[in-house]
Amino acid sequence: MIGRLNHVAIAVPDLEAAADLYRNALGAQVGAPQDEPDHGVRVIFIELPNTKIELLNPLGADSPIQGFLDKNPAGGIHHICYEVEDILAARDKLKASGARVLGSGEPKIGAHGKPVLFLHPKDFNGALVELEEV
């Protein structure tokens, strides 16, 4: 069911500082900040030859990543995003297997304009999993 690794997300306390670090210290190709109010985050994508890094910073009062940053003030790896061909079929299969789909359970449009869902980290060995339909 899951296919390619679409991105690895890192929650950061200072988005521009993290972007500068990747641009200057690591010589990476760093994109522009994107506000994603429907997800409560501001993101910057870093294009790698084989996948992407998503830098995340809270946007708005009730960002879903604020709790994570409160616990990890220096930042940390936040989630991993796998690609799927059919996100509703994947969701239904996962729910039938007892996995918790976060939020309303309906996909939302993510940063790439594609439907995304999230699976509870406690069901996947402590890793927050994002699925993106491609």
Interaction site with ligand LZKTLF4L (CB under 6 A): 9, 36, 39, 41, 43, 54, 56, 64-65, 67-68, 78-79, 81, 102, 110-111, 116, 118, 121-122, 126, 128, 130
Beta carbon of residue 79, minimum distance to ligand LZKTLF4L (angstroms, whole number): 5
Both structure tokens of 15: 């988005």
Residue 78 touches which member of Co ion, ligand LZKTLF4L, none, C-beta under 5-8 Å by kind? ligand LZKTLF4L
C-alpha 14/C-alpha 2 separation (Å) is 31
Q: What residue has token string 């594609």?
A: 114
Active site residue 130: yes
C-alpha 32/C-alpha 50 separation (Å) is 20
Check if the beta carbon of residue 111 is closer than 8 Å to that of residue 56.
Answer: no
| Residues forming the active site | 130
